[in-house]
Amino acid sequence: MTGIQNFLSNALLWIEGVAAVIALYSYYKNTSNNFWQYFVFYLVFIFVCELFGKYGENLITFSKAQFYNYLVIPLQFLFFYWLYAVKSLKKWGLFIIFSLLYLISFIPSEFYFKGSKIIFSFNYTFGSLILMVLVLMEYYKQITSSDIINFNKNRMFYINLGVTLFYIGTLPFWTFYYLLVKYLRIWDIYFDYFLISGIIMYVLFSISFIWGKQNS
Which residue type does 25 have? Answer: Y
pLDDT band at 216 (very low <50, low <70, confident <90, very high): very low
pLDDT tens for each residue of 52-73: 999 998 888 888 888 999 999 9
- Assign 33 to helix, strand or coil: coil
pLDDT tens for each residue of 154-172: 899 999 999 999 999 999 9
Could you please report the per-residue DSSP string of the chain? --HHHHHHHHHHHHHHHHHHHHHHHHHHH-----THHHHHHHHHHHHHHHHHHHHGGGTS---HHHHIIIIIHHHHHHHHHIIIIIIIS--HHHHHHHHHHHHHTHHHHHHTSTT-SS-S-HHHHHHHHHHHHHHHHHHHHHHT-TTGGGGGGBHHHHHHHHHIIIIITTHHHHHTHHHHTTSHHHHHHHHHHHHHHHHHHHHHHHHHHHT-B---
pTM for the full model?
0.91
pLDDT tens for each residue of 177-203: 888 888 899 999 999 999 999 999 999
What does the alpha-carbon distance between residue 136 and residue 107 come to, in Å, rounded to a whole number?
Answer: 27
